[in-house]
Chain A
Amino acid sequence: MSKPTDSTFLLGRHVDFLLNRHRFKLAEALPWILAIAAFFLLPDRLTFGSQVLIMVLFALSLDLILGYAGIVTLGHAAFFGLGAYTVGLLVIRAGWNEPISSLFAAAAVAGIAGFLSGWVLLRYRGFTLLMLTLATGVLLMELGNLRSDITGGYDGLPGMVIAPLFGVFEYDLYGKTNYIYALVVLFIIFMIVRRIVYSPFGEALTGIRENVRRMHAIGAPVHRHLVVAYTIAAAIAGVAGALNAQTNAYVTLGVFEFDRSAAVMVILILGGTGRLYGAFVGAVIYMVLEDYLAKWSPEFWQFGVGLLLVMAVLFARRGLLGLFEDIGRYISKKRTS
């Protein structure tokens, strides 16, 4: 077969690719099938399972701004924490313990905080932006500590009682309800995020990541796009925080800690940024490794996280999924040649 050199042909193929890439592929069902299978196969690990699902959601929200829009933030835990505290304060201080409406409240609070901070902070670049996002998280934690009469300080808000889901489904000891609840919320939000990244808006974000000057030059409202993406990501992170507070039935100032911002970044980098399923792969591997190794020795695990990061930066910059792709491409190349 002769190589097609006709430019219109190539253009047509490219448009075809763009039009088709948002279609669902069979492989996309795999993580969801595995998640459902886990529900039946590992009935005594469901509490842990819902923690994994929550981290997937949190990492997914970071992916939207870090992976797609290219904003490096060290303070994403701020929004996770705001979501968690929205739920906690609603229950403890206002007696409002209906879970679904609390999720929306958490998304709203975190989203508004994301909009306001993003509107101010996203004018900055590089190291300054890093420092400002880092300071936002620390500032919120200090604020929570300052008003410990409301937030409970470092002791947090223990003893939260969450109402049954839809007034029907009680939370059982094995976390069955929690697991399904987290999975459904994750699936709905994932579909929204998927829709966003394949939309023209998502393309614009990728454009900003790849070449912000060019996006300015073609007249794209760069700042507005970034603020919108940041707001959505913050709201999703808020939902993740809210789910975390609901499944654990407590919240402490630890939710704002830098460690959490770092952990979610590790998860995303490990799985692969700028790809929808990177968050899944990263969260599952990270959480399972942590669960096993931390029991053995916490230092060993922390050393392992550090080593993973260093290795990822040096050898697998596109994450595990990127690495798999590279290997797959290498094999198929070998086969054809």
Chain B
Amino acid sequence: MIGQIANILVDGLAYAMFLFIVSVGLSVTMGLMGFVNLAHGAFAMAGGYVVLTATRYFGVPFLGALVITFLVIGAISVVFERTLYSRLYKAGELDQVLLTIGLAFMAIAGITYLFGPIPQHVVLPHWLAGHIDIGLRTVPTYRAFLIVVGFLLVIALWYGFERTTLGAKIRAAVDNRRMAQSVGINVDLLFTLTFAIGSGLAALGGGLSIHLLGLTPTFALVYLVLFLLVVSVGGLGSVKGTLVAALVLGIFDTTGKYLYAEAGGFFIYAIAMAVLLIKPAGLYGRE
């Protein structure tokens, strides 16, 4: 019984951290520019394939591959942001939805062409493969690693968001874009930067999760709904909200899968809908 709860907690936390890492960038960029980016899952998926390529074909160590994917996908996302996204800031959400679904489709097709539709696996480095003793019991090292990385990122993001000038500027722009612009904040540049960091984090999440979820090209759409749920339940532009929503949805989802596997994602979708019906702007969103 205790063992069951501990398993659920470890798996749930690891899953929640993955959800947080991928979703936080989406939340901030959506809060900042109100851009509905359905291609965010594609960046995460692409990140997984960059890690795969780097470790399998170039012999890059796992940690190094994670850094590479953050930088590569972040850089690629800037190209997209400058050439395509920036044209649609003032357009309606329908246009944004269509453009980004289009990009997601193209990404899925392109990756399928390159790697095939079958699930890909990455061999974990030996230091992540086993179990680790945390005193009370042993937990899989990989999951513990995911939780630790997620926790470190939470602290780093909290510090960056709450304690640095850049973070203050982002918060100001999320709260009131026009006011931020009128006090001399270059919102466009700020957006490009947060967009790149957000996409980089998505790629990092995608790379980290390969072993947890498996990697197929359809990752881009399959998990997209979850990322969007985390963002909308947490509230647009709120790092804290994203964390809370990721924890709640991640742990609930895992619990459901342990105890009542047939239900699939039913409960988290029901919970997410209930939250949105009561608080349309999400838990920590601005009404």
- Indicate whether A142 reaches chain B with its CB closer than 8 angstroms: yes
Q: Are B98 and A306 in contact (CB under 8 A)?
A: no
Q: Are B36 and A313 in contact (CB under 8 A)?
A: no
From A16-24, A119-127, A158-166, A191-199, the one touching the partner chain is A119-127
Q: Are B109 and A302 in contact (CB under 8 A)?
A: yes
A-facing residues in B74-117 (Cβ within 8 Å): 84, 87-88, 91-95, 97-99, 101-110, 112-113
Q: Which residue of B lies closest to A269 (CB)?
A: B98
- Indicate whether B174 reaches chain A with its CB closer than 8 angstroms: no
Q: Which residue of A lies closest to B272 (CB)?
A: A135
Q: Which residues of B contact A145 (CB under 8 A)?
A: 262, 264, 266
Q: Are B105 and A139 in contact (CB under 8 A)?
A: no
Q: Are A310 and B106 in contact (CB under 8 A)?
A: yes
- Indicate whether A180 reaches chain B with its CB closer than 8 angstroms: no
Q: Are B106 and A128 in contact (CB under 8 A)?
A: no
For the complex formed, measure the closest distance between the CB of A321 and the CB atoms of chain B, giving whole angstroms: 17
Q: Are A303 and B109 in contact (CB under 8 A)?
A: yes
- Indicate whether B128 reaches chain A with its CB closer than 8 angstroms: no
Q: Mark A138-167, 1 if CB is under 8 A from B, else 0.
A: 110011011010000000000000000000
Q: Which residues of B contact A205 (CB under 8 A)?
A: none
Q: Which of A120, A130, A313 contacts B102 (CB 8 A)?
A: A313
Q: How far is the CA of A300 from the CA of B106 in the complex (A)?
A: 9
Q: Are B110 and A72 in contact (CB under 8 A)?
A: no
Q: Are B281 and A128 in contact (CB under 8 A)?
A: yes
- Determine which residue in B87, B101, B229, B232 has the highest number of CB atoms from chain A within 10 A of its CB, and name it: B101
B-facing residues in A287-337 (Cβ within 8 Å): 298-303, 305-310, 312-314, 317
Q: Which of B87, B91, B105 contacts A305 (CB 8 A)?
A: B105
Provided the pairs A131-B228, A306-B104, A308-B102 are in contact, do residues A142 and B109 lie with their beta carbons within 8 angstroms? no
Please tell me the number of chain B residues within 8 Å of chain A, measured between CB atoms: 45
For the complex formed, measure the closest distance between the CB of B40 and the CB atoms of chain A, giving whole angstroms: 13
Chain A: number of interface residues, binned into ranges: 35 or more
Q: Which residue of A lies closest to B111 (CB)?
A: A299
Q: Which residues of A contact B105 (CB under 8 A)?
A: 302-303, 305-306, 309
Q: Are B97 and A128 in contact (CB under 8 A)?
A: no
Q: Are B232 and A310 in contact (CB under 8 A)?
A: no
Q: Which residues of A contact B94 (CB under 8 A)?
A: 66, 72
- Indicate whether A258 reaches chain B with its CB closer than 8 angstroms: yes
- Indicate whether A262 reaches chain B with its CB closer than 8 angstroms: yes
- Indicate whether A220 reaches chain B with its CB closer than 8 angstroms: no
Q: Mark A102-132, 1 if CB is under 8 A from B, else 0.
A: 0000000000000000001000101110111
Q: How far is the CA of A126 from the CA of B97 in the complex (A)?
A: 11
Q: How far is the CA of A98 from the CA of B154 in the complex (A)?
A: 59
A-facing residues in B263-281 (Cβ within 8 Å): 263-266, 269-270, 272-273, 276-277, 280-281
- Indicate whether B210 reaches chain A with its CB closer than 8 angstroms: no
Q: Mark B207-223, 1 if CB is under 8 A from A, else 0.
A: 00000000000000100
Q: Which residues of B contact A120 (CB under 8 A)?
A: 277
Q: Are A262 and B276 in contact (CB under 8 A)?
A: no
Q: Which residues of B contact A130 (CB under 8 A)?
A: 36, 93, 97
Q: Which of B104, B273, B281 contacts A139 (CB 8 A)?
A: B273
Provided the pairs A74-B97, A127-B232 are in contact, do residues A138 and B110 lie with their beta carbons within 8 angstroms? no
- Indicate whether A265 reaches chain B with its CB closer than 8 angstroms: yes
Q: Are B106 and A313 in contact (CB under 8 A)?
A: no
Q: Are A128 and B270 in contact (CB under 8 A)?
A: no
Q: Are A142 and B266 in contact (CB under 8 A)?
A: yes
- Indicate whether A134 reaches chain B with its CB closer than 8 angstroms: yes
Q: How far is the CA of A7 from the CA of B93 in the complex (A)?
A: 37
Q: Which residues of A contact B280 (CB under 8 A)?
A: 124, 128
Q: Which of B92, B108, B225, B270 contacts A134 (CB 8 A)?
A: B225
Q: How far is the CA of A324 from the CA of B46 in the complex (A)?
A: 37
For the complex formed, measure the closest distance between the CB of B44 and the CB atoms of chain A, giving whole angstroms: 17
Q: Which residues of A contact B272 (CB under 8 A)?
A: 131, 135
Q: How far is the CA of A91 from the CA of B106 in the complex (A)?
A: 39
Q: Are A310 and B113 in contact (CB under 8 A)?
A: no
7 residue pairs, one from A and one from B, having the closest CB atoms: A309-B102, A306-B105, A306-B106, A303-B109, A142-B266, A302-B109, A310-B102
A-B residue pairs in contact (CB < 8 Å), sample of 5: A131-B229, A145-B262, A301-B109, A306-B109, A310-B99
